[in-house]
Amino acid sequence: MKSIADLRQDYAKSSLEVANVLPDPVAQFEKWFQEALQAGVPEPNAMNLATVNEQGQPSARIVLLKGVEAKQFLFFTNYQSQKGLLLERNPACALTFFWPELERQVRIEGITQRLDAQTSEAYFQSRPRGSQIGAWASPQSSVIDSRTILEERVQQLEKRFDGETVLPKPHQWGGYAVMPSMIEFWQGRPSRLHDRIVYTRIDGQWKIHRLAP
């Protein structure tokens, strides 16, 4: 069996220069995201969402980016889930995208706020009906005795909403917008001398710097 310590990948597909990036980091993100789509990256909108509790203990999980609007990054979840409860107590969070096919990573730090109910409802009702039922059925992050509980709840909800293709949004479900204060673009380079370009919001303006790898 190969040692984990011996697993290595050298990167040489592209480079990144301060002179070549866009002045707005959200526009630069959208450019890279389109390139990830064109390259056929599987689930390019999958992102690691990190939160922190009152004791400073971090938690991280993979969620899906569902939009970039008004220079903010949108995702949806159950407000009563672990991440939802943590974000209500501390709205600071971090997002990370990794697109290995392009040897790229994007890190985002910012503050979350809930989306308005109308926006959340519109997105909820655009989801497949099975996903709508699933959101109603799952007490996300709660301890349950078995999967049977979920399956029984789904059956009950199927009867309750029989004949309805569009379901109302559960009150405990909705979206968040992340307003970024820092966005870093990472491009893999040979010999671990990676390119790192960071945008930091200072007094309402984006400042751009290169970081050592």
pLDDT tens across the length of the chain (213 residues): 889 998 888 998 999 999 999 999 999 999 999 999 999 999 999 999 999 999 999 999 999 999 999 999 999 999 999 999 999 999 999 999 999 999 999 999 999 999 999 999 999 999 999 999 999 999 888 998 999 999 999 999 999 999 888 899 999 999 999 999 999 999 999 999 999 999 999 999 999 999 999
Q: Which of 95, 91, 98 is CA-nearest to residue 109?
A: 95
Predicted pLDDT at 115: 98
Q: Is the pTM of this model over 0.75?
A: yes
Predicted pLDDT at 165: 85
Predicted pLDDT at 135: 94
How many other CB atoms are there within 10 angstroms of residue 129's CB atom?
Answer: 14
144 annotated ligand-binding residue: no
Sequence-distant (≥ 6) Cβ neighbours of residue 209 within 8 angstroms: 18, 197, 198, 200
Predicted pLDDT at 210: 98
Is 210 annotated in the active site? no
Q: Are 97 and 49 in contact (CB under 8 A)?
A: no
3-state secondary structure of 180: strand
Q: Are 180 and 110 in contact (CB under 8 A)?
A: yes
8 burial level (CB within 10 Å; 0-12, 13-18, 19+)? exposed
189 annotated ligand-binding residue: no
Cα 54 to Cα 26, 60, 80, 113, 123, distances in angstroms = 30, 15, 17, 18, 31
Predicted pLDDT at 62: 98
Rg (alpha carbons) of the chain, rounded to whole number: 20
147 annotated ligand-binding residue: no
Q: Which one of the listed residues 89, 160, 192, 210 is annotated catalytic?
A: 192
66 annotated ligand-binding residue: yes
Predicted pLDDT at 1: 83
Predicted pLDDT at 60: 98
